[in-house]
Amino acid sequence: MVTQIEDIYNTYFKDVFLYVYSLSGDKHIAEDITSETFMKALTSLDSFRGESDIRVWLCQIAKNSYYSYLGKKKNFVDLESLPESASEDNVEQEITTSQASMKVHEIIQNLKEPYKKVFTLRVFGELSFKQIGKLYAKSDNWACVTYHRAREKIKARLEDYR
């Protein structure tokens, strides 16, 4: 089963990536959505009935993931795009943002290996899954799965924090 999944990943990764890239126009978003697509496909492989080409099925998952991403992004306010306030009226907001940022970094630091390192290399080092896999002498699929597991752990711990 593992080799079957790796074969699917190796065969269709580029097609799915290029499809998502054509939707988003952003390489990093395309990589994230593509890896999320294969994670979703992995968990629902049993539900694939073979009524369509597997490439079509994967691209449908990718499209739905991308639109979900856009929906979530709509509710997200990019702090970098907000104008900086010259007054000190927003001190409480700055403290809250600073505390949240510290909490995220604390959660990352408390992750077990290899999750901490893979997540850090992907987010802060901006390495591709292929590069991360090569560093660990593993496949890029392993790096992708490890990254997404780390991301889920961080999300869960953030939810506990809130």
What are the b/e assignments for 13-34, b being 16+ CB within 10 Å? Answer: beebbebbbebbeeeebbbbbb
**pTM of the predicted model over 0.75:** no
Q: Which residues contact 118 (CB under 8 A, 6 or more apart)?
A: 132, 136, 143, 146, 147, 150
Q: CA–CA separation, 116 vs 32, rounded Å? A: 17
CA distances from 159 to 43, 73, 103, 123, 162 (A): 23, 18, 11, 20, 5
Residues 12-55 pLDDT 10s: 888 889 888 888 888 899 999 998 888 888 787 767 767 777 88
Residues 87-141 pLDDT 10s: 444 444 544 555 666 777 788 888 899 998 888 888 766 778 888 888 889 998 8
Phi-psi region of 131 (alpha: psi -120 to 50; beta: other; left: phi over 0): alpha
Query: Can you give the pLDDT at residue 3?
Result: 66
Higher pLDDT, 41 or 76: 41
Residue where the block lists tokens 């909490």: 103
